[in-house]
Structure 1
Amino acid sequence: MSDVTIFAPSPTLTVTIEEHDDEPDIHLHAGGQGVWQARMLLRLGVSVTMCCTLTGEIGRMLRHLLEDEGIAVAGIDRPGKGSAYVHDRRAGERDVIAETEGEPLARHDLDELYGLTLREGLASGLVILSGPAGDEALPADTYRRLAADLREGGARVVVDLAGDRLDAAVTGGVDVLKVSDEELVRDGRVPDGASAAAIRAAMRMLHQKGAHSVIVSRSPEPTLLLDGAGFLEVQAPRMEVADTRGAGDSLTAGVAAGLARGESVRDAIITGAAAAALNVTRHGLGTGDPEAIARLREAVSVREILDESAAGIDQPVTGHVSPDGLAALAENAESGTTDESGKNREKP
């Protein structure tokens, strides 16, 4: 039994071409959101089981690559075309040579994967639900069902999702939701360029809809956390950036690692912030030296945000609030305070 189970519907075979001594240097790895999370968890000393589909010859290669890294694989082998990409980095930027999202999961394959995830997730007691390689890989409602069933069985659920998959998971109920401010904008939850107060208003809505704790990454601004006690602002050291990809997944993995060790979300997010800070200094996604992460953890600063409107975070949500409405609520929160009914009143 592993410490953490990761639901990763369709991992990706990555082929990257780099330059070494004026010669092409070709690297072959497993990739995708769930893989990057698993890789960081292993760096932090946390064992992982990945529940995934392994499609065709790409899937056979992925199984070997994942197991070689120390990830336990609970996989559904199936024929077809798997997710893969070839990127050329010899000029310093990622030049996409070819990529494919693979084929959507058939109903039978999805049923088998669902059952595997329940079995492994209930055994470990802590599950990360990560996204697939493509939007058409599986129905978004799968995340609602999985979140609800896993929590009903006593497991804690962490999600790092956006769009319809985020909505579905939150409806099912999750312990920790991680999302970026860019994803909030793309999903229409906040307007572009929204203030921190507007983002906090969106976080309250997500909390009320079913996410017990909400984490919003805002690179390069401090990360925000909302839980039942209110808001925290988490500032990690600002490192020189080599590659920002994978930083959010390292943040999620660091939080999950802390939870697996019995920490509260407020303690676990410090490890997550340190892991994300280190990851941006590297080209390897979801990688980093654990001793360096421990040192950076000491440099993470945490500040409580006295947002009086958070006093009503456990009140039920009625209706839909548009991004403009959220912005208006945020402006009211900055200019005044709220009474017990949730209505704004003037500051004295």
Structure 2
Amino acid sequence: MGTVVIFAPSPVLTVTVEDIDGTADIHVHAGGQGVWQARMLLALGTSVTMCGVFSGETGRVARHLISDEGVRVLSVEGQGNSGAYIHDRRGGERRVVAESPGDQLTRHELDQLYGLTLQAGMDAGTVILSGAVREDAVPVDVYRRLAADLGTAGCTVVTDLAGERLAAALAGGLAVVKIADNELVDSGRAAGPEPHQLVEAMRTLADEGARSVIVTRAHHPSLLLDEGEVSEVHMPELQSVDPHGAGDSLTAGVAAVLADGGSLHEAVVLGTAAGAQNVTRHGLGSGEAEAIRRLAGLVRIVPLEAGEAEPAQQLSPDELARKIREQ
């Protein structure tokens, strides 16, 4: 596999409380979109460099945790504090105990972060631009400038952004945009969740600067726009433990294949399998490479006209095991 750089402006420290036979089982990890993407990239065997700002006690702990996982961290020592949250899952669902989005990044921190990302991105050739928990942590124009400068340097730039961040990155030019259908609708880019409404929004994204667009649709097949053609991406629906992190796992899988010189269709197949396996696990952005590659054999990409509105197939564990053995 190749190397991927992740622009992760402000990772967070996460504390999650689980239940084991009536006893609190406490987990401390680094988290945030860029971290979950990095974790899946590592699981797939891709070398990962993360560029971010780490501030205060929470930032120092998060940075060490990320490095311990095997990620090369290019860090800016920030002022203030990085974000953090405490979630309680003992009842089966995530309950927020406390959350802090962290502090807004200063001009000097942003300048340092920009320089680190640009240099590392040019060395690697493939870059994911990820968001931040705090909406105003990074001025949106940073995304436009990074996309433009990295693209000028010949990099493949992938994003999983929404709203103003996405609009800014599009203005700089992007190789791949991954976005969820509800984000398209909530932002006003799509008039509704129906396939034809999403396709119209996808074509607009292409007009604004995206070479390819992937739209995830929860339990329905994802949509792919590539070279003007729209396809559906079918994957049997697995038994879900936690849907969080599935989209970031998909983005990571796509970037991993592109960094290794694979085609976009190959990238979407592996990314879809990575996202599907992630929902079966408690760890966000986690997965097992061999299982993901076996699941990739179940992914089908078909023209939209041939499969529009086809429901996603849900398999029992026994049925899924049988299908995987047949690959």
TM (norm. structure 2) is 0.91
In structure 2, distance between residues paired with 1:81 and 1:60: 9
Deviation at 1:81, TM superposition (A): 1.6
- Identify the residue that residue 246 of structure 1 maps to in structure 2: 245
Residue 267 (structure 1) aligned with residue 266 (structure 2): yes
Equivalent position SS for 1:142 = helix
- Identify the residue that residue 226 of structure 1 maps to in structure 2: 225
- Identify the residue that residue 289 of structure 1 maps to in structure 2: 288
> What does 1:23-102 correspond to in 2, within 5 Å?
23-102=23-102
The 8 Å contact of residues 173 and 210 in structure 2, kept in 1 or not, is answered as yes
In structure 1, distance between residues paired with 2:105 and 2:80: 10
- Identify the residue that residue 304 of structure 1 maps to in structure 2: 303
Deviation at 1:79, TM superposition (A): 2.6
Deviation at 1:21, TM superposition (A): 3.1
In structure 1, distance between residues paired with 2:265 and 2:240: 26
- Identify the residue that residue 3 of structure 1 maps to in structure 2: 3
In structure 2, distance between residues paired with 1:238 and 1:161: 24
Deviation at 1:297, TM superposition (A): 0.3
- Identify the residue that residue 140 of structure 2 maps to in structure 1: 140
- Identify the residue that residue 310 of structure 1 maps to in structure 2: none
Q: Flag the structure with larger Rg.
A: 1
Deviation at 1:153, TM superposition (A): 1.0
Count, aligned residues: 305
Deviation at 1:45, TM superposition (A): 0.5
The 8 Å contact of residues 129 and 143 in structure 2, kept in 1 or not, is answered as yes
In structure 1, distance between residues paired with 2:183 and 2:253: 20
Amino acid at match of 1:246: G
In structure 1, distance between residues paired with 2:229 and 2:191: 23
Amino acid at match of 2:213: V
Equivalent position SS for 1:287 = coil
Amino acid at match of 2:237: R
- Identify the residue that residue 209 of structure 2 maps to in structure 1: 210
Seq. identity, %:
55
Deviation at 1:266, TM superposition (A): 1.3
In structure 2, distance between residues paired with 1:93 and 1:232: 34
Q: Which structure 2 segments of 5+ residues have no match?
A: 307-327
Equivalent position SS for 2:110 = helix
The 8 Å contact of residues 177 and 212 in structure 2, kept in 1 or not, is answered as yes
In structure 1, distance between residues paired with 2:120 and 2:305: 40
Deviation at 1:240, TM superposition (A): 0.8
In structure 2, distance between residues paired with 1:169 and 1:229: 20
Equivalent position SS for 2:298 = coil
In structure 2, distance between residues paired with 1:94 and 1:48: 29
In structure 1, distance between residues paired with 2:194 and 2:96: 34
Equivalent position SS for 1:179 = strand
The 8 Å contact of residues 8 and 35 in structure 1, kept in 2 or not, is answered as yes
Amino acid at match of 1:226: L
In structure 2, distance between residues paired with 1:162 and 1:175: 16
The 8 Å contact of residues 78 and 105 in structure 2, kept in 1 or not, is answered as no
Deviation at 1:229, TM superposition (A): 4.5
Amino acid at match of 1:22: G
> What does 1:60-209 correspond to in 2, within 5 Å?
60-192=60-192, 194-209=193-208
How big is each residue's C-alpha offset from its partner over 1:90-115, in whole Å with a ceiling of 9 and x where there is no partner?
11111111100000000110011000
The 8 Å contact of residues 8 and 50 in structure 1, kept in 2 or not, is answered as yes
Equivalent position SS for 2:46 = coil
- Identify the residue that residue 279 of structure 1 maps to in structure 2: 278
How big is each residue's C-alpha offset from its partner over 1:118-140, in whole Å with a ceiling of 9 and x where there is no partner?
01001000000000111010111
Equivalent position SS for 1:189 = coil
Report which stretch shifted further, 120-129 or 84-93.
84-93
In structure 1, distance between residues paired with 2:118 and 2:252: 20
TM (norm. structure 1) is 0.86
How big is each residue's C-alpha offset from its partner over 1:240-273, in whole Å with a ceiling of 9 and x where there is no partner?
1111100000110010011011111111100010
In structure 2, distance between residues paired with 1:162 and 1:252: 14
Deviation at 1:191, TM superposition (A): 2.6
Deviation at 1:141, TM superposition (A): 1.0
Amino acid at match of 2:267: A
In structure 2, distance between residues paired with 1:152 and 1:94: 42
Q: How much is the aligned-residue C-alpha RMSD, in angstroms?
A: 1.1
- Identify the residue that residue 15 of structure 2 maps to in structure 1: 15
Equivalent position SS for 2:90 = coil
Deviation at 1:306, TM superposition (A): 4.9
How big is each residue's C-alpha offset from its partner over 1:316-337, in whole Å with a ceiling of 9 and x where there is no partner?
xxxxxxxxxxxxxxxxxxxxxx
